């Protein structure tokens, strides 16, 4: 069988450790282009950007708590470092300097490249609602920091923080857009940075309710679904028939009443009032799409919880709550490399068609990072049924 005809996981060079096989999902030329774009290798004699990326990705994958913890763990298996892809001499001070000085945009660009690849792989995934268009959920999460150490991360008078403003593709879910800001940036300002795709749906909570900014979606041919505030003033133009048994209580075409709101959004809007039997709560949605069934609008908004689960997942499984450096560059480098690791695991799951969750895959990779075992044999579920032999230590990981 030729190399091009082999399954993807069969080309990972099974003589290498599991960590190296995972990193081989990144094509060297792709990484070199990201480095060259931001001149990452200028005046560097040793410890390349690739070495820096491998160190930080290893820390993410194996749940290390600090730079020293990461370096000590790697040096404990110095006999495997070359096979894992390292070419420079690894020291804590060298890694700390690299995180402080090398442009974080190298890894942001790499993450965007991996994200585009992953989104193509997950494009056929189903949505909670019957919809052919792309649907996104927009939200942010706050990560608390010590203001004495992170003086640039302004949040409150005695508290520092950064915010991760994230646009999540609901088919996946894969983050399509991430912006890292200090904690003082209001959520609604993230709408000014958002890439808007015509024909796509953007699902948001009422913290993003700004009618002038929402009209930009209308101008660009995109659709939004957002919760209305209780204080919304409007004029009802038309009421459409609804079926109360579906939870929809009203479906109205409205126009805004307040002068400044109407100036920001002069066009008509659709207002849907929905009763969620599961939570026993009423919700009021605003959208600029007038033909979708109201139940579909409600389901799309309900699927917004996926972005909350994404934040919960990365906070629990990746190292983005305790940082290895205190400068903005070091923090952004760590966050973007964490995103790279998340997307790499998502790509691996799709490449191997694994039924396990991302959490299960990450746990298996973390405890076997140094092991020389074929990665598909380590992870694929059908191996559960293989009878135990005298040499099946890795397979025992799945016996639970």
DSSP 8-class letter at 388: P
Domain parsing of the chain, residue ranges: 3-107+325-398, 206-303
Compute and round to an integer the Cα radius of gyration of the chain.
24
More confident residue, 60 or 386: 60
Q: In whole angstroms, what is the distance from residue 232 CA to residue 226 CA?
A: 13
pLDDT (0 to 100) of residue 355: 86
- Are 161 and 145 within 8 A, CB to CB? yes
DSSP 282-331: EEEEEES--SS-HHHHHHHHHTTHHHHHHHHHHHHHSS-SS-S--SHHHH
pLDDT (0 to 100) of residue 294: 95
Answer whether residue 10 shows pLDDT above 60. no
Identify the helix (H) or strand (E) that includes residue 345.
helix 328-351
3-state helix, strand, coil in the chain (%, to 5): 45, 20, 40
Q: In whole angstroms, what is the distance from residue 233 CA to residue 149 CA?
A: 45
Q: In whole angstroms, what is the distance from residue 307 CA to residue 141 CA?
A: 10
- CATH architecture designation of domain 206-303: 2-Layer Sandwich (3.30)
pLDDT, tens digit, for every residue of 71-128?
A: 999 999 999 999 999 998 899 999 999 999 999 999 999 999 999 999 999 998 888 7
Q: Could you tell me how far CA 383 lies from the centroid of its own chain? A: 30
Answer whether residue 250 shows pLDDT above 90. yes
- Are 188 and 210 within 8 A, CB to CB? yes
pLDDT (0 to 100) of residue 173: 82
Split at pLDDT 50, 70, 90, the class of 392 is very low
Answer whether residue 152 shows pLDDT above 60. yes
What's this model's pTM, rounded to 2 decimal places? 0.87
DSSP 8-class letter at 53: H
Q: Could you tell me how far CA 303 lies from the centroid of its own chain? A: 16
* Residue 187 exposure: Cα atoms within 13 Å on the Cβ side: 14
pLDDT, tens digit, for every residue of 168-182?
A: 999 888 999 999 999
Q: In whole angstroms, what is the distance from residue 210 CA to residue 204 CA?
A: 11
pLDDT, tens digit, for every residue of 350-378?
A: 999 988 889 999 999 999 999 999 998 88
pLDDT (0 to 100) of residue 380: 76
Answer whether residue 304 shows pLDDT above 60. yes
* Residue 116 exposure: Cα atoms within 13 Å on the Cβ side: 7
């Amino acid at each position: 069988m030729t190399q091009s005809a082999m399954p993807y996981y069969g080309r990972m060079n099974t003589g290498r450790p599991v960590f190296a096989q995972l990193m081989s999902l990144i094509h060297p030329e792709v990484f070199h282009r990201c480095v060259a774009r931001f001149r990452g290798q200028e005046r560097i004699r040793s410890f390349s950007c690739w070495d820096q990326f491998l160190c930080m990705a290893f820390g993410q994958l194996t749940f290390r708590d600090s730079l020293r913890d990461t370096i000590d763990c790697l040096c404990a298996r110095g006999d495997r470092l070359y096979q894992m892809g390292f070419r420079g001499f690894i020291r804590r001070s060298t890694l700390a300097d690299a995180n402080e000085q090398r442009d974080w945009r190298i890894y942001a660009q790499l993450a965007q490249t991996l994200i585009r690849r992953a989104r193509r792989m997950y494009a056929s995934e189903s949505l909670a609602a019957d919809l052919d268009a792309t649907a996104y959920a927009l939200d942010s999460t706050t990560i608390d920091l010590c203001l004495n150490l992170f003086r640039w991360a302004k949040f409150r008078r005695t508290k520092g923080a950064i915010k991760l403003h994230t646009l999540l593709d609901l088919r996946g879910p894969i983050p399509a857009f991430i912006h890292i800001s200090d904690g003082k940036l209001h959520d609604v300002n993230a709408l000014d940075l958002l890439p808007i795709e015509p024909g796509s749906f953007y699902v948001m909570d009422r913290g993003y309710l700004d009618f002038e900014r929402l009209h930009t979606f209308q101008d660009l041919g995109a659709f939004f679904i957002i919760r209305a505030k209780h204080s919304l003033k409007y004029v009802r133009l038309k009421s459409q028939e609804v079926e109360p048994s579906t939870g929809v209580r009203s479906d109205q075409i409205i126009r805004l009443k307040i002068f400044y709101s109407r100036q920001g959004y002069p066009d008509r809007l659709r207002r849907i009032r929905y009763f969620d039997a599961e939570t026993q709560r009423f919700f009021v949605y605003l959208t600029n799409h007038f033909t979708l069934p109201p139940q579909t609008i409600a389901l799309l908004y309900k699927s917004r919880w996926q972005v909350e689960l994404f934040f919960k997942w990365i906070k629990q499984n990746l190292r983005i709550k305790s940082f290895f450096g205190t400068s903005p560059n070091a923090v952004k480098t760590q966050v973007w490399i964490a995103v790279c690791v998340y997307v790499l695991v998502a790509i691996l799951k799709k490449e191997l068609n694994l039924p396990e969750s991302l959490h299960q895959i990450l746990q298996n990779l973390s405890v076997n990072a140094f092991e020389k075992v074929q990665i598909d044999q380590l992870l694929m579920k059908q191996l559960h049924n293989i009878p135990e032999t005298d040499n099946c230590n890795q397979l025992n990981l799945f016996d639970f």
